[in-house]
Structure 1
Amino acid sequence: MSLETGLYFIQAKSTHYNVGRYYVEDRSLLPKRVLSLSQAVGGLPSEWLVEKTGDRTYRMKAQDTYTGVIDDKLYAFLLPEPAPVDWVIKAHPEHGDNVYSIETESGEGWTVEGQSESQIEIHAFQDSPNQLFTLVQSKA
């Protein structure tokens, strides 16, 4: 099942932490880290814009900024460079409703470490629980 363009909430399946940018960031134009955040540290759900760009590819915005990879870590870019990544979002119905992996076209997937406030990393996809995410469309 493919996703349609729209606003979504993203939560790590393994930890149930929300995925997004930290609620307090520096004011520079440097890329901003994308983290897994528990509600205890202000990890309230943030909406992501998921834009369909092809048959199986998407661009994703966290707080109105496109996302991409620097040194195997997920960032949101405030400037046009580096270029955003076209993500492949694959359904995994065997793991539950609305469960997906988010991968590069070369097969490297978003990966969550166990603790809150850890940055989303990009590793070869292995269908492990820490590489699965629940995407639920926002009602807004």
Structure 2
Amino acid sequence: MDLQTGNYTIASKAGNLFVGRKANEDRSLRPKQVVLRPKDADRPEVSTWTIEALADGTYILTIGGGRTADINKLVNAVLLDQPPPTKWRINPQFHQGQDTYTISLEKDTGEGWQAAVSPDVGQQITIKRYIVGRSFPPTYRPQDLFVITKLD
């Protein structure tokens, strides 16, 4: 099922933590880290995502007013026009859970969002090559999977 443009939460299946921006960031316009956050976050705006569905089947993901971009294999929220936002593919993996997806680069490089193997609050989301189980449909590790829940 394709996601429609709207507001969502994103949580890692590894550690069951929200994905968002840090509650306390510097006030510069430099890119902001996209990190794991506690589920009981006291500031929901740092864990509320706007997902914009594009005509080509990709998505622009925005958190706290910053569009996300791949900067040196790390997911960041960019507050200025540069670098441009990364287009992401959000692929359902419902055989691994309700509302469960992988979030990968637009080009099929086999790389996508990944939480840490031992997830903890404050760890930044990275972009790494997936290690996929040999099955049909393929199975992904928990750190490669994200639960995306619509808020609207």
TM-score (norm 2): 0.85
| Cα deviation 1:79-106 (Å, max 9, x = unaligned) | 1000100000000011111000000023
Percent pairwise identity: 34
Give yes or no for contact 1:37–1:43 (8 Å, CA) kept in 2: no
Q: Greater CA radius of gyration, 1 or 2?
A: 2
Q: Quote the offset at 1:132 in angstroms.
A: 0.3
Q: 1:115 is matched with which residue?
A: 120
Alpha-carbon distance between aligned partners in 2 of 1:112 and 1:104, rounded to the nearest angstrom: 15
Q: Partner of 2:143: helix, strand, or coil?
A: helix
Q: d(CA) in 2 for partners of 1:91 and 1:54?
A: 18
Higher-strand-fraction structure = 1
1:30-61: per-residue Cα shift (whole Å, max 9, x none)? 10000011247757572100001134200000
Q: Which runs of 5+ in 1 are unaligned?
A: none
Aligned AA for 2:4? Answer: E
Check the 8 A contact 1:18/1:43 in 2, yes or no. Answer: no
Q: 1:33 to 1:4 in 2, by over 3 A?
A: same
TM-score if structure 1 supplies the norm length?
A: 0.92
What aligned pairs does 1:51-90 form with structure 2 within 5 A after superposition? 51-90=52-91
In structure 2, C-alpha distance between the alignment counterparts of 1:125 and 1:8, rounded to whole Å: 24
Could you list the runs of 5+ residues in structure 2 that have no partner in the other structure? 132-139
- Root-mean-square deviation over aligned CA pairs: 1.7
What displacement does 1:115 show? 1.7
